[in-house]
Amino acid sequence: MELEIKKTRNGNKITLELNGVINTETVGPLNEIADELDLDDIDLTLDFSKLSYITSVGLRTLLRIRKKISEDRIRIIGMNQAVFDVFEMSGFSDYFPIKKAENTYLLPEDPSFRQLLSFRVASDPEKKILFCDDKSYTWRDIDEASQIVAKDLFDLGVRKGSHVGMFARNSFNWAAAFYAVQKLGGISVLLNYSLKASEVRQYSQYGDITHLCFDKASAKTDPDSFKAAVTGDGSKIEEVYDISNEIDLLARKDELARLDGLFSEEYDPDDPCLLIFTSGSTGRPKGVLSSARDRRKNAQLMNDGFGLNENDKILLFLPLCHVFGFGSGLNTSIICNIPLYMPSDTGDKNLLRIIEEEKITLFNSVPTKILSLAEDPDFDTAKVSSLRVSVIAGSAIAAVQLLSLKEKMPDVHFISLYGMSEMAPISKTEYDDTLKHICETVGKPVKGVKVTVRDPQSGEIKGINENGELYIRSETSLICYYRMDLEDQAINEEGWIPTGDLGFIDEEGYIHLTGRCKDLIIYGGENIAPKEIEEVICKVPGIRDVKVVGVPDEKYGEVVAAAVVMAEGKSFNRKETEVFVLEHLARYKAPVYYVLYEKFPLLSNGKIDMVNLKKEVADKQNGKEAL
């Protein structure tokens, strides 16, 4: 096993996260740090949470580091029992302030979701890990509830390879049902809870869903009516199972004795186990099939370098049915053993309250939500002072918007991340990247992911700073689009996946997104990228948010239209806006129409519903409602 060392720095505070084993073959990176790092005026934390063992050569290097820094400015955290035994036996425990891990169990090297849950229950059973409104749950609670659900689903016919739909809002019962499916070796099919019953029937055909877990809030009707609606008209759904929030699974604990030892079969972490449908609103949804290994590695890549530890807390408003919510919520929680807060009320005021009262440190978001949070009348910088990291992904954020967030949340390390259902993350900025990098790029490709830029028509590889379509390749991307025609599969003969996103890679290796291939506005033969125009309009005083779309035009094919949301108390001045835009952009890029919105239509994952927005803008332009 190799040794990986990740360094994060905040002023004179440095954290080194060591992952692997320190022995004769692997000690090199630690020796380099001992040689090169100026230790005279720093506060150093050595995070051993992921260090499985250390030999005498590693101790020798640690002694060199210790001699350069005083005891009050160095510490070791997260040390497991095996490493602590080495320190005790050698007397090194006298040289360092040491905080042992809350548990001394070692994470399995390559676990499935079922093995991850078993590990957490064995190592930290009573840790309160999931907080849903006024209730808290331990790892043991999740395991016991999932065992009860697993028996119910087994009795309904779920077996290894069964496709079980998850049609419910975030809740403890959602988590229990997910792990129940994994215990049975099934494939969890994550469904958007805003779908209608007729759409659920369609998705059952796309994803071969034979069993459906649902809640009453998503069903929008009584269970019997819902069952009749989703099992008729050619549906593949044979059984439905109610996981509504008000059902107390733990009230059935007396059943656990007869379930002891059941559903303990080991499944390969590379087995297909998860199906997530892409969130696009046009055409047939694509089912992205992946394994536990893929999703675990992706979550680790997303959080790599953040220095996450047992003191962190995650607040999740993103739905678990989407790749961002699942990866940054439930998946991160179980991988890193970090408490997860999932409120049913995801309004801005309630989220601000939870951040302040629970001292939340990690809040990942789409741009629309975190901007709304920062503009809420209840917002105060002091209320969010506990926040340390916020990953922003899902859609583009204008530089001026991110600068505004940084002013209101100066202590937050904002991370710009780029990913999609097929592979997330593709790239991200680093924990201590410059504000310029965070504002203008989506970071560098993460470990193991290759990115090229190609001409959208010819496929020719483009050079540095040359715009084109981004292609990606990774061993942790999707397995395939489930049961789609061969010619519609994302992966080409060389293993590359076209993203549909336009962008370029600069001389430092950072990726810049410039738009979507399909979102380009074709104005009389000129290609116009909406993002470029949005960046300019966002700088107009009083404008809070803007989205630019193309609308049909008889003469030019398409012309530019801007949907605008004004800041509270501000009014739109078209003339001033036009003057400002023309100072920064060519005339053919200037919007011909402006449409005012109080707020944009949103998808359930918090992203702006661009398909419906574009249709609405076109309709209002035709109806002469545009300015």
In a domain? residue 194 = yes
Q: 73: domain CATH number?
A: 3.30.750.24
Concatenating the DSSP letter of every residue in 381-444 gives GGGGTT--EEEE-SS---HHHHHHHHHHSTT-EEEEEEEETTEEEEEE--TT--HHHHHH---E
- Contacts of 81-84 with CB under 8 Å at 24 or more apart are 82/52, 82/53, 82/106, 83/48, 83/51, 83/52, 83/53, 83/54
Q: Does 457 lie in the same domain as 588?
A: no
Domain of residue 228, residue span: 113-122+132-290
pLDDT tens sequence across 567-580: 989 999 999 999 99
Q: Does 391 lie in the same domain as 408?
A: yes
What tokens were used for 174?
């959602």
pLDDT at position 510, please? 97
In a domain? residue 84 = yes
3-state DSSP call for residue 468? Answer: strand
Cβ burial of 373 (10 Å; 0-12, 13-18, 19+) is buried
pLDDT tens sequence across 203-236: 999 999 999 999 999 998 899 999 999 998 889 9
**Strand order across the 389-392 sheet:** 389-392, 413-420, 423-428, 444-445
Distance CA(105)–CA(89), nearest Å, equals 20
Q: Does 540 lie in the same domain as 476?
A: no
Q: Does 219 lie in the same domain as 117?
A: yes
Q: Does 495 lie in the same domain as 546?
A: no
In a domain? residue 481 = yes
In a domain? residue 304 = no
Q: Does 496 lie in the same domain as 540?
A: no
Distance CA(368)–CA(516), nearest Å, equals 19
Is pLDDT above 70 for 52?
yes
- Name which of 102, 6, 2 is nearest 45 in CA terms: 6
Q: Tell if the pTM clears 0.85, that is, is over it.
A: no
pLDDT tens sequence across 401-449: 899 999 999 999 999 999 988 998 999 999 989 988 998 999 999 999 9
Please list the alpha-helical segments (H only) found in 409-538.
Answer: 435-440, 530-537
- Cβ(176)–Cβ(149) below 8 Å: yes
Is pLDDT above 90 for 470?
yes
pLDDT, the chain, mean: 90
The percent of residues in the chain predicted with pLDDT above 70, rounded, is: 96
What tokens were used for 596?
């005012």
Q: Does 271 lie in the same domain as 237?
A: yes
Domain end (from 517, 538, 562): 517
List Cα–Cα distances, 43 to 22, 73, 75, 312, 404, in angstroms.
Answer: 22, 5, 9, 20, 31
Q: Does 149 lie in the same domain as 193?
A: yes
Provide the Cα torsion 65, 69, 71, 73; round to 10°: -110
The percent of residues in the chain predicted with pLDDT above 90, rounded, is: 60
Q: Does 280 lie in the same domain as 179?
A: yes
Q: Does 490 lie in the same domain as 360?
A: yes
Which of 30-39, 147-156, 256-265 has the weakest average pLDDT?
Answer: 30-39
